[in-house]
Amino acid sequence: MQEFTNQKILVVGGAGFVGSNLVKTLLLSEPQEIIVVDNLLSAEKENLPKDSRVIFIEGSITDNNILAQLNSDLDYVFHLATYHGNQSSIHDPLADHENNTLTTLKLYEAIKDLINIKKVVYSSAGCTVAEKTFEQAEATTEDAPVSLYLDSPYQISKIIGEFYSNYYFKRHNLPVVKARFQNVYGPGEVLGAGQWRGTPATVWRNVIPTFIYRALRQMPLTVENGGIATRDFIYVDDIVQGLILCATKGIAGETYNLASGVETSILELANLINELTSNPTPLDFRPKREWDNSGKRFGSSEKSRTQLGFESEIDLPKGLINTINWTKNNFSFIEKCIQKHHNYMN
């Protein structure tokens, strides 16, 4: 972590779930400053730590005025901006393009000649690469083939971001490392954070915060397609450590999976959360979501383990207990963010 001491770091999308957790950890290493650029599309300003070394610029990284303000002596860049998530992108592909594809292109154009930059870390998504299967899943490796028939504009944007990362690395020597995340969960993921993005997924975001919120309210957890789908859940502190390892030890031009390597079915997850929250309400079984073909998947962490020394340390029960406690402690804030969208939801 001493690599970041006295350094100037840019975190694009730094007010978001992963970004704000990253900023908090980076502050421990005494950086000179952390510039956060975020348009608060899917984030709340309150998530960012109040610290004089954090300079918050509210707006889009596609905005030329903001790009012109960036310091030319940046040392590290973490690019976490996205149009969250799959369902919002299906609802509004152009907004996805603006905030999930153009963001990467304009950022790289602006920083391609900055000679101080030691590393750019791009946050990619395992869901783009994983094989679409409801049969037995194999651990997805970094060199797995990518389908040309992806399920959502979100997934397309994430892989285009990888293409641009590769292009700017090869053409301009921009030292980009691509970190492919599996499903991240943990404290700081605020249901309803940010602006209405056209569907109830604005509020419900991902499965773990949704299940925890509903279980704490003793509501039924909704399980689609018998809960047979599987995911690789990785705790946010582990992702932050992985991002830091990508920045400090990752080889420019390379891709690393940040995965727990553990496959958990949605049914197992629902039962575990009900047990940990003492939710007595039975599960609510529903049909499969029509757009969602990524049935079973988990990531291989072999390459990041052997080449970066990355190890996911927090297992699912421990991570869930931490997330449940955080949710209880922040319940009124979360309720407030959910309520913002009340009129759209009805």
Ligand X SMILES: NC(=O)c1ccc[n+]([C@@H]2O[C@H](COP(=O)([O-])OP(=O)(O)OC[C@H]3O[C@@H](n4cnc5c(N)ncnc54)[C@H](O)[C@@H]3O)[C@@H](O)[C@H]2O)c1
Report the residue closest to ligand X, judged by CB. 16
Report if residue 43 touches ligand X, rule: CB under 6 A: yes
What is the β-pairing status of strands 54-58 and 230-231? unpaired
Q: Does 314 bind ligand X (CB under 6 A)?
A: no
Work out which of 9, 10, 11, 12 binds ligand X, going by CB under 6 A: 12
Nearest to 11 by CA among 120, 153, 171: 120
By CB under 6 A, tell whether 175 contacts ligand X. Answer: no
Quick one: which of 74, 81, 269, 270 contacts ligand X (CB under 6 A)? 81
130 or 279: CB nearest ligand X: 130
Q: Which two tokens stand for residue 320?
A: 């869930």
Least spacing, CB of residue 181 vs ligand X, in Å: 4
Chain positions 61 to 80 lying near ligand X, rule: CB under 6 A, are 61-62, 80
- Cβ of residue 323: shortest distance to ligand X, in angstroms? 13
Nearer to ligand X by C-beta: 175 or 188?
188
Say how far apart CA 165 and CA 178 lie, in whole Å: 8
Sheet holding 119-125, edge to edge: 54-58, 33-38, 8-12, 76-79, 119-125, 176-181, 255-258
- Asked if residue 44 binds ligand X (CB under 6 A), the reply is no
- Cα separation, 160 vs 261, in Å, equals 25
Alpha helices in 185-226 (DSSP H): 201-204, 207-216
Q: Are strands 76-79 and 119-125 parallel, antiparallel or unpaired?
A: parallel
Structure tokens at 112: 């391609």
Please give the residues from 185 up to 214 whose contact with ligand X meets the rule CB under 6 A: 194, 206
Note the residues at the interface with ligand X (CB under 6 A). 12-13, 15-19, 37-43, 60-62, 80-84, 99, 103, 123, 125, 158, 181, 183-184, 194, 206
